[in-house]
Structure 1
Amino acid sequence: MQLFGQALGLGTLGLVAGVIGAVIAALATRSQTSTLTSYVQHFAAGLIIAAATLDLLPEALHLGGGWPLIVGFVLGTAFMLALRSLLTRVGHSHHPGDDPHHDHHGHDDAHGHDAHSPTTATGVNLRLIVALAVVVLIDGAIIGVALSAGGAAALLIAIALSIELLFVAASTAGSTRAGGGSLGTAIGVGTFVAAMMPIGAVLGALVFAGVSAPVLVAGLAFGAAALLFTAVAELLVEAYEIKESTGTIAMAAAGFLVFLLLMMLM
């Protein structure tokens, strides 16, 4: 029971961050702080890469590694690639800093949506919301797996994913407002997506609590692959759409170093 309480608490960090992002985007969908966004995304990417390489994978190797690690890592990568493909087809990839008024092919329509993105009368793109909710659910499950493995860095992983979720929820709420949705609807859909974080964390802890070492190894490797994919294929790709600078690159290194130092202290 204590494990599930911890998972719920860590997942709630993401929920709070997501609600904050959704409120900000719903109130000011066109206020652009692109430079700050790039700095934060680089820092979050550094944290996430460190979480995968300094905590999840070493823990998986300590528990035995071998084929379960390889299979879990391959499955994690394949799953994230499949989700990315799905999100691309519905007109919006999983980029935390997406500009809700611009799609990734460089085309805008009157409401800031891809021409093929189906929206309801309230401005909600249902397929997009569902797909993003699945992504955040997986992110939350990674927290639960880390807790089940006894990883000391579960809190740090939760913080890194919460930073990412802030931008995901903001993008979701902003695109809803741009599509004609009300303030309440925009905040509501952003909150719905963010709520998947604590749900995923509890489910991850529930599924992996007390499992055999090979299954736990596979789960850790799956989570590491998902984290690395999120950092390299999502956060950094989105951040580099803004002109890179020495400062932004240093922020990625700072994120990695902060995670390393906190692990040493813990």
Structure 2
Amino acid sequence: MDADDAPPTLAQALAPPSQAIWLIRPKHPNDLSKTSHASLLGVTMLTTVLLYALAPVATMALGGLIAAFRTPGPKLGSAIQHFAAGVVFAALAVEILPDVVHRDAPLASLGGFAAGVLLMLGLRVAGRRLEGEEGRNKDQSEGSTPSTDAGRRSLGMVLVVGTDVLIDGVLIGIAFAAGAKAGVLIAIALAIELLSLGLATSAALGKGGISRTRSILTTAGLALLPLVGAIAGTLLLGDLSGGWMEAVLAFAAATLLYLVTEELLVEAHAVPEAPWMTAMFFVGFVILLLIDMVGSPPGG
């Protein structure tokens, strides 16, 4: 047996963690440095993702706190949703979609895009069924307390919102896997979107009879899920290669497109619109577009 391949001694096995890396002796002098460099890059990327993922966490919790004390009016809520839709659409248009097209993998892109659409449609169907079942249970229940009714009514919404924001976090991890600039723009866009969602969630909980304290705590708990999703997206999807990364990026494109067209804009159009409210979509779009242009190197 080669001396380098010999198992570690008891003293080596009990060595402090700072010395543990030397228990694995590379057969080639550069192996250890390459491994250490790759590990350092992975830790650095995860740290960066976590830092930017804190922005959506903070904005959703802030939105929940604001709405618990003063619910925004319908027009202001619609304007915020228009603005958030414009920002998300700009991030999709200037970063994710060009990257998907540039990679030139039509079959992988088709599969990922279809998976994203099916997932979002499935979540919508599941959410509506859950809300319908809760409504029937409410009609059939007798002798239930107001707090029990409020908890039952809010359960479906919390589950749907929780799944939605968890996916948002995964999208942040996917975007950073595609590139640092894409990750930053998606994190900014989703931070604004989750501010709107935090406002709406806390307001809906309050209207459903949930106490102010419970509304704040519930929204704050939901706000942590993007952080969990970002970690999962980075660790599970950050090192994909071949056609898998193309499929994941197309999946992200589909979910973001659904977020804009079937969630933000649908909710924004639920109230009579004034021209200034509609204009907020374009304001959000051009602001993120300018951020992308300013942040890009000359000629890049």
Task: Assess, with a 3 A threshold, how the Cα gap between structure 1 residues 12 and 3 changes in structure 2: closer, same or farther.
Answer: same
2:290 & 2:72 partners in 1: Cα distance?
Answer: 32
Q: 1:199 aligns with which of 216, 228, 232?
A: 228
Gaps of 5+ in 1: 93-113
User: What is the match of residue 82 of structure 2?
Assistant: 42
Deviation at 1:143, TM superposition (A): 0.7
Other-structure match for 1:70: 110
Separation in 1, partners of 2:285, 2:242 = 28
Q: Identity of aligned pairs, percent? A: 33
The aligned counterpart of 1:99 is: none
Correspondence for 1:58: 98
**Alpha-carbon shift at residue 243 of structure 1 (Å):** 1.9
Structure whose residues are more often helix by fraction: 2
Does structure 2 conserve the Cα–Cα contact (< 8 Å) formed by 1:91 and 1:117?
no
The one-letter code of the counterpart of 1:11 is A
Aligned partner of 2:164 among 118, 127, 135: 135
Per the TM alignment, residue 123 of structure 1 is displaced from its structure 2 partner at its CA by 3.3
* Structure-1 residue corresponding to 2:4: none
The code of the aligned residue for 2:94 comes to L
CA-atom RMSD in angstroms: 2.1
Does the 8 A contact of 1:122 with 1:185 survive in 2? Answer: no
- 8 Å CA contact 2:147, 2:210 repeated in 1: no
User: What is the distance in 2 between the residues matched to 1:202 and 1:38?
Assistant: 31
Aligned to 1:22: 64
Deviation at residue 151 of structure 1 after TM alignment: 4.6
Q: Of 142, 150, 157, which residue of structure 2 is paired with 1:123?
A: 150
Corresponding residue SS for 2:131: coil
2:189 is the alignment partner of 1:147: no
Contact between 1:56 and 1:151, CA under 8 Å: does it hold in 2?
A: no
Q: Cα offset for 1:236?
A: 0.8
* Residue 84 (structure 1) aligns with: 124
Query: Contact 1:22–1:170 at 8 Å: present in 2 too?
Result: yes
- Is the contact made by 2:75 and 2:273 (CA closer than 8 Å) also made in structure 1? no
Are the counterparts in 2 of residues 145 and 204 from structure 1 also a CA contact under 8 Å?
yes
- 1:116 Cα shift? 4.0
TM-score (norm 2): 0.75
Q: How does 1:185-224 map to 2 (within 5 A)?
A: 185-224=214-253
2:197 is matched with which residue? 168
Give the Å deviation of 1:154.
1.8
Q: Is contact 1:8–1:199 with CA below 8 Å preserved after alignment?
A: no
The counterpart of 1:181, out of the listed 185, 210, 213, is 210
> Displacement of 1:179 after TM fit?
3.2
Asked if 2 retains the 8 angstrom alpha-carbon contact of 1:11 and 1:201, the reply is yes
Name which of 53, 73, 78 aligns with 1:11.
53
Aligned length: 243
Aligned-partner Cα distance in 2 for 1:163–1:88: 25
Deviation at 1:117, TM superposition (A): 7.3
Residues 1:27 and 1:151: Cα distance change in structure 2 (over 3 Å):
same
| Cα deviation code 1:69-99 (max 9, x no counterpart) | 111111101111111112222339xxxxxxx
CA contact (8 A) 2:46 2:234 kept: yes
**C-alpha spacing 1:233/1:11, structure 2 compared with 1 (3 Å):** same
Q: Is residue 235 of structure 1 aligned with residue 277 of structure 2?
A: no
Q: Equivalents in 1 of 2:137, 2:95: separation in Å? A: 38
Partner of 1:33: 73
Measured in 1, the distance between the counterparts of 2:103 and 2:137 equals: 44
TM-score by length of 1: 0.84
Asked if 1 retains the 8 angstrom alpha-carbon contact of 2:88 and 2:193, the reply is: no
Query: 2:84 aligns to what SS in structure 1?
Result: helix
Larger Rg: 2
| Secondary structure of the structure 1 residue equivalent to 2:224 | helix
Paired residue secondary structure (2:148): coil
